[in-house]
Amino acid sequence: MNLEPPAGLRDFTPEIKILRKKIFNRIEKIFIRYGFDPIETSTVEYWDILKGKYGEEAENKLIWRFRLPYSDKEYSLRYDHTIPLARFYSRFQFPLPFKRYVIDKSYRYDNPQKGRYREFYQADFDIIGSREYTSDAEIINLVIEVFKEFKFNNYKIIINNREFLRYIFEKLLSINQDKIFKVYNIIDKLDKIGIENVEKELNSILDTDTSNKIINIIQLKDQELIDYLSKFNDLNELINYNNNIFDLLVDKKNVELSLSLVRGLDYYTGMIFEARVDEPKIGSLAGGGRYDNLIGKFSNRDIPAVGGSIGIERLIDAGIELKIFKMKKKTYTDLVVVYFNNTLKDAWSICNKLRSIGINCYIDIMSRDFNKQIKYAVDKDIRYLLIVGEKEIKNGFVLLQDRETKERINIKIEELDNIKNIIYK
Amino acid sequence: MNLEPPAGLRDFTPEIKILRKKIFNRIEKIFIRYGFDPIETSTVEYWDILKGKYGEEAENKLIWRFRLPYSDKEYSLRYDHTIPLARFYSRFQFPLPFKRYVIDKSYRYDNPQKGRYREFYQADFDIIGSREYTSDAEIINLVIEVFKEFKFNNYKIIINNREFLRYIFEKLLSINQDKIFKVYNIIDKLDKIGIENVEKELNSILDTDTSNKIINIIQLKDQELIDYLSKFNDLNELINYNNNIFDLLVDKKNVELSLSLVRGLDYYTGMIFEARVDEPKIGSLAGGGRYDNLIGKFSNRDIPAVGGSIGIERLIDAGIELKIFKMKKKTYTDLVVVYFNNTLKDAWSICNKLRSIGINCYIDIMSRDFNKQIKYAVDKDIRYLLIVGEKEIKNGFVLLQDRETKERINIKIEELDNIKNIIYK
């Protein structure tokens, strides 16, 4: 019998789960520091809600959608956190701005590979209700903070604006609507396929002059790009908007302005961004942007929004490969209470006391002898032993042993509270 | 368009989610104190793994099972955490004992009603590998600790042992195999339908003498019951085992031994328990027991286990009704940085500083005026305002206002760190 979950789905052992919980927790703290609050939406959505939102490929291959043998309704599993947010927001219509985060699973029936799974956690953060550059800046700052938190130093955040793209490619270079999506698609692959291949592909659908111009423009960065864009008066306001965002960033070092970023989803309307690391080659670790026409879809209202998503699975896979994340803890248990046949009841009452003051304890439940009880601590790297011996108990104390320093301390039974100060110092 | 999730599925607003996270967190801490570690299993399981494990009703009505339009495989959503644990354990075969907890969703296509949803969180805790009464005691202690943690005082934990049931009803009263499950089923409803109705139902399938005996026996409690059971020498060992469990409980006050508890699932082999509250009438809040023949199912090994499950949705619904749980916090945000047009950049750099030292801040992203910025704090019950005025900034300070005490303090900009001590004192 196949004991693994279906392809692209996963089990997490305590070691991995403990590491993941720590990572999730640190990311969540950043969201909260930035004034975002948590929400939760249902795992299962009516297919009607997701239908028509994610494009053909998703609908025909990627969305987990189904009927039950005993239900006519068609259901689907959450495909991302954005459409559920739109439904959720329309349902409750909270006062604006509404800043929410979520760290939860999405489900895609994709081809499983490294960093890509059929169920995967995403950390999403969105600001609903603001059209201001300040909200764009907050979203990008969150991503910068996450990379800084974990001391990734090889990250790069690329920023662009859909309105720059429209102006330069559609208005200035007059690429017509038949070709524009192909052109965007090719440009967007720059990071993956390199400039020569982009040039080759562009040449196959555009005249050489236009193609050359594009090749030049998408290689411009930061001030060079601003200088170029400044030639066009129509773009003044947008350049200002963009500069204002940059002014508010907590760390501009690894942030880059470039017209080479397009991003696949067609719901973006303004600023867009993507975060990558040089190594390992695992695709983008985060992305997002402004989408002013989506949230109001379910309520026929005009509601601006900006947000982003961190691909936690890729972040973790990349972090493990870069040795930023290490599976160090096998257990949350900090202390093993060790006892003998004739001290079982004393040991249990001591263990209960320790647990009641917040110490994470293991006590043998296998009728094992002294040495095997200690082996449990050794196997799980649990640092402290509390030995409950008959003679010691009679004299009113127990023995605390630090397996790391080999130190042994007598602890009076009335003073068990002290153990907390010793082990959680 | 229907903006609610499908029936029996739910969205959680920030207020509810914040409350739920706090409750989950407190329960989790208890598990960790007792030496349990977290694992996670996939949401989606092959139908083959669940098939034949939960009985006919589940298979024909309750399990979310399906094929995708583009897959031949039959899948299902996790129905509980026990079969996934058996699969998981067989896959990894960790050293024993293996103590794990999980707080995650299960999915049942049940009729939605109060305390019963089609997706719901369960907190499960199991000890794999131990046949000892000590492990039974730990499982029950966990449940006691959860009720004590939240100061439920109207809870009752009923304990029984499947072997008592077998001996008394099947051996002593010689109820035959045709009828025994019906009898158990009737007895198990005592709490719901009352003793007279149990009597009536028993009379309809048993002779009056047997029925009367049963009525007497299932009303015996604790020492009375022990006295009765002690008449049978065959039960001596089992009574001892049971007394040993009770000796190790952290609080016996609300714990009761009674033969009236049967529990539906037929995989239990020894000790069983269930936890209830008098009010509200919402069914059992927790339950579990020993199941020595289940974990080894996928690996053809003989592996004892004992565990329990807390129905978190019912616990929360009951706790809210009992006013044990209150939605107090609308946001995690503790402070709003308030600014004027000409102090925007100063305010942002101050806000970044506060966030970097761990203060949860909101800063306006709506281009709102002073009064509307303050309204955000008022609406969300955020206690502190940090007012960044032009004159103050020029003199090197900002103004911290406590909305609760109405106190205002000048804070030097070099000493922003102090704010942390003031607001998280």
For the domain that residue A241 is a member of, what is the CATH number?
A: 3.30.930.10
Q: What's the rounded mean pLDDT across residues A390-415?
A: 97
Q: What percentage of chain A carries pLDDT values higher than 90?
A: 92
Mutation site for A-interface testing, chosen from B365, B378, B385 by largest number of A Cβ within 10 Å: B365
Cα separation, A17 vs A11, whole angstroms: 9
The answer to whether B80 is a known ligand-binding residue is: yes
pLDDT at B115: 77
A379: nearest CB among B46, B95, B358: B95
Q: Which domain holds residue B372?
A: 335-423
Instruction: Examine residue B24 and state whether it is found in any structural domain, yes or no.
Output: yes
Local confidence band at B265 (pLDDT 50, 70, 90 cut-offs): low
Both A61 and A112 in a single domain?
yes
The residues that bridge with A256 in the sheet, in sequence order, are A158
A149 touches chain B (CB under 8 A): no
Q: What is the ipTM of this complex?
A: 0.96
Shared domain for A373 and A283, answered yes or no, is: no
Q: Does one domain contain both A249 and A369?
A: no
Q: Are residues A119 and A230 in the same domain?
A: yes
Give the per-residue pLDDT at B116.
86
CA–CA gap between residue B37 and residue B125 (Å, rounded): 9
| Cβ neighbours for B227, distance < 8 A, ≥ 6 positions apart | none
More confident residue, A333 or B2: A333
What is the average per-residue pLDDT within A136-163? 97
| Predicted confidence band of residue B114 (pLDDT cuts 50, 70, 90) | confident
Tell me the C-alpha distance between B274 and B272, whole Å.
7
State how beta strands A397-402 and A408-412 pair: antiparallel
Give the pair of three-digit tokens for residue A373.
Answer: 């009880």
Is pLDDT of B137 > 90? yes
- C-alpha pair distances (Å), B277 with each of A326, B103, B141, B415: 44, 21, 17, 52
Q: Are residues A110 and A222 in the same domain?
A: yes
What count of Cα atoms within 13 Å lies in the side-chain half-sphere of residue A72?
0
- The answer on A261 and A115 residing in a single domain is yes
Q: Is residue A404, in this structure, part of any structural domain at all?
A: yes
Mean of per-residue pLDDT scores for chain B:
95
List CB contacts of B254: < 8 A, sequence separation 6 or more.
B144, B147, B155, B156, B157
Task: Tell whether B331 lies on the interface with A, counting CB pairs under 8 A.
Answer: yes
The answer as to whether B326 is a domain residue is: no
A192 has a pLDDT exceeding 90: no
Mean pLDDT, rounded, for B143-148: 98
Q: What is the percentage of chain B residues whose pLDDT exceeds 70?
A: 100
Written as one string, the DSSP assignment of B345-361 is HHHHHHHHHHHHTT--E
* Domain boundary, last residue among A321, A344, A369: A321
| A and B: number of Cβ contacts within 8 A | 239
User: In what helix (H) or strand (E) does residue B289 lie, and over which residues does it extend?
Assistant: strand B286-290
Cis status, amide bond into A95, omega within 30 of 0 = no
Strand residues in A26-80 grouped as ranges (E):
37-38, 44-46, 65-66, 75-77
Q: What is the mean pLDDT of chain A?
A: 95
Is residue A392 one of the residues assigned to a domain? yes
Instruction: Please tell me whether residues A300 and A354 are part of one structural domain.
Output: no
Nearest to B14 among A38, A96, A118 (CB): A38
Q: Does the pLDDT of residue B192 top 90, yes or no? A: no
Amino acid B331 reads: T
Q: Is residue B328 part of a domain?
A: no
CA distance linking residue A376 with residue A368, whole number of Å: 10
Length of chain A, in residues: 425
The string of pLDDT tens digits covering residues B295-336 is: 998 989 999 999 999 999 999 999 999 999 999 899 999 999
B375 at A interface, C-beta within 8 A? no
CA gap B163, B228 in Å, rounded:
15
Mean per-residue pLDDT, B369-374: 97
Torsion of CA B192, B193, B195, B197, to 10 degrees: -160
Query: Which CATH number characterizes residue A379's domain?
Result: 3.40.50.800
Q: How many angstroms separate the CA atoms of B395 and B385, rounded?
A: 19
Q: Is B6 part of any domain?
A: no
Do residues B281 and B365 both lie within one domain?
no
Decide: A183 and A199 in contact? Cβ < 8 Å: no
A69-122 pLDDT per residue, tens: 998 899 999 999 999 999 999 999 999 999 999 999 999 999 998 778 999 999
- From chain B, pick out residues whose CB is under 8 angstroms from the CB of A245: none
The residues that bridge with A272 in the sheet, in sequence order, are A160, A289
